[in-house]
Amino acid sequence: MDAIKSQWAGLPPNVRGILWVVLSGLLFASFMAIVRYVGTTMNPIQMSFIRYAFGMMFMLPFFMRMQLSDFRAANIKLHATRGILHGLAVMMWFYAMSRIPIAEVTALGFTSPIFATIAAVLLLGERIRMRRMIAVAGGLLGALIILRPGAAIIDPGAIAMLVAAPIFAFSDVMAKLLTRKESGPAVVGYLSIFVTLVTMVPAIYVWRWPTPEEWALMALTAFIATLGHLAMVQGFKLADVSVTQPAKFLQLIWATLIGFLLFSEFPTIWTWIGAAIVVAAVSYIAHREAVARRHE
């Protein structure tokens, strides 16, 4: 065990960061598969509440180790704002998962960094140059190719996912602000608290007492998703965004394999083409951000 730890510590930070992000993608794809399965019988709003309620429980040991000064340093207003927005997006994400293939949800979710670029301009005052504006436009074009408006009837789940993506993007930018002064686990923990509160009220109106199997599966989703978030945060801390971003897109491969093996789903050629355009646009934006940071 000590030998493995020393070998791991000897790897370059970028390599360790990539491996953490690859692991997070596999965890998220597994989480999506379970949500897809449970979503055939349970209301998506109820699922979103149970998932984050369990997630909040998994984060309790972390909160118990926090000092009073840690709580005082927390930006509760920003955590609450992020939690409210994220909670709305989560409910739409669970709705999308109950209606459209896993790979399509994943592909549309990749547009989130495109919207994060826009959010960074609005919230952080970052300047955006013409080349990045073209990349943003290209990413949005990729999303349109996935949806193919006019060529096919757009499923409400796809619309929900496309609305959720920019909200997740604003949430990510707020997380970036929070991690400047707070730890990654603290950011994940407070998110679990506020999203649980946001989803609790609508969940009451659609509540159906879950079966023992559903309770167990939802607890498992919360555990896997929490691990996925922690792995992703750790990866982003260790490696440059431009390095980890392409690795994040391996999640589409995992999602496609799981969707095909478990649910006989296979994305259309338009999903692949649109996802490729989105991936290229996001990778270019990540590259330009890394170049800009090196010149700061």
Dump pLDDT digits (tens) for 187-197: 777 888 899 99
**How far is residue 245 from each of residues 80, 134, 236, 289, measured CA to CA in Å?**
27, 18, 9, 11
Whose CA is closest to 146, among 118, 165, 131?
165
3-state secondary structure of 177: helix
Per-residue model confidence (pLDDT) at position 105: 85
Dump pLDDT digits (tens) for 144-174: 777 776 555 677 888 898 889 888 888 877 8
Say how far apart CA 122 and CA 212 lie, in whole Å.
Answer: 45
DSSP for 98-144? TTS-HHHHHHHHTTHHHHHHHHHHHHS-----HHHHHHHHHHHHHHH
Per-residue model confidence (pLDDT) at position 198: 93
Per-residue model confidence (pLDDT) at position 212: 92
Per-residue model confidence (pLDDT) at position 89: 93
Neighbours of 167 (CB within 10 A): 21
Per-residue model confidence (pLDDT) at position 291: 62
Does the predicted model carry a pTM greater than 0.85?
no
Q: What is the mean pLDDT of each run of 10 residues along the chain (296 residues)?
A: 59 75 85 87 92 82 70 80 92 89 82 73 67 74 72 75 86 78 75 90 93 92 84 74 64 80 80 79 69 57
- Let me know: does 112 contact 172? Beta carbons within 8 Å: yes
Neighbours of 2 (CB within 10 A): 6
3-state secondary structure of 149: strand
**How far is residue 21 from each of residues 1, 18, 26, 168, 286, measured CA to CA in Å?**
22, 5, 9, 18, 15
Per-residue model confidence (pLDDT) at position 213: 93
What's the gap between Cα 26 and its chain centre? 12
